[in-house]
Amino acid sequence: MERVPLNYLTEQHLLLFGTIIQWFAQYEALMQEVMAKVAGCDSAAVMLLTRGLDFGGKRRALLDLLRHRSVPLDRYDRINDYLLVPHSLTPLRNDIAHSAWVPAKTPHWIQPDWILHLPPGVRPLHSDEFVEREEDKTAYSLQELDEAIEALVANYDGFAGYLREIGLLGA
C-alpha cells in the first residue's frame, strides 16, 4: 500500500495533535474516576460501562449522575464550568481524530479537509450537542494548537485540584 505524503503536516503538528488527544483521554479518565466515587463503585465498573462513550457522552453521564445524586448546585456548576474548556475544544479534537488535514490559505496554517468539500451554507455538526465555534475558525497555526493544549492543561490542573478539595478525587 502506497502512503500519501503528509508534507504539509510537520512533526510538530503531529506532536500537538497527539498531545491534544491524550489530554482528552486524561479528562475522560478523571470523569470516570469521579463517576465511580459518586456512584460508590469501583473505577473499573464505570470504565466498562462508559467505554463506548466519547468525551461528550462521558461529560453528560457525569453531569447527569451528579444531578441524580443531588450534589450541591454550586459544586455541580463549578464542575460544569471546568468541563466547558474541553467541551469548547471538542470540535478541534474531533477534527484531529476524524479528518484529513490540508494546508490553509494562510502560510504555515492547516485546516481539516472537510472544510473544502462542504456545499455553501452547510455548517458541520460535530456531535449530538451543537458546539458553537467562531465562524471563521477553520484553520489552525502551531501556536493556536499549543494554546489549546495550555488551556487544557491549566484547566485540568484546576479541575483535579477542585475535585480533591471537595472529596471527589483521592490524593
Is pLDDT above 80 for 150? yes
Grade residue 117 by pLDDT with cuts at 50, 70 and 90. Answer: low
Question: What is the pTM (predicted TM-score) of this model?
Answer: 0.83
Element housing 110 (H / E) = strand 110-112
Element housing 7 (H / E) = none
Q: Which tens digit of pLDDT belongs to each residue from 36-92?
A: 999 999 999 999 999 999 999 999 999 999 999 999 999 999 999 999 999 999 999
What mean pLDDT is predicted for residues 89-114? 86
Grade residue 137 by pLDDT with cuts at 50, 70 and 90. Answer: low
What is residue 101's predicted lDDT score, i.e. its pLDDT? 84
What mean pLDDT is predicted for residues 132-141? 64
Closest by CA position to 96, among listed 113, 76, 81, 108: 113
What is residue 127's predicted lDDT score, i.e. its pLDDT? 47
Q: Which tens digit of pLDDT belongs to each residue from 47-59?
A: 999 999 999 999 9
Asked if 86 and 62 touch (Cβ cutoff 8 Å), the reply is no
What is residue 121's predicted lDDT score, i.e. its pLDDT? 45
Is pLDDT above 80 for 125? no
With a pLDDT cut of 90, the percent of the chain lying above it is: 67
Q: Of 1-5, 78-82, 135-139, which gets the smallest average pLDDT? A: 1-5
Round to whole Å and give the CA distance between 123 and 103: 20
Grade residue 112 by pLDDT with cuts at 50, 70 and 90. Answer: confident
Give me the residue label for grid cell 478523571.
30
Torsions phi, psi for 101 (to 5 deg): -115, 145
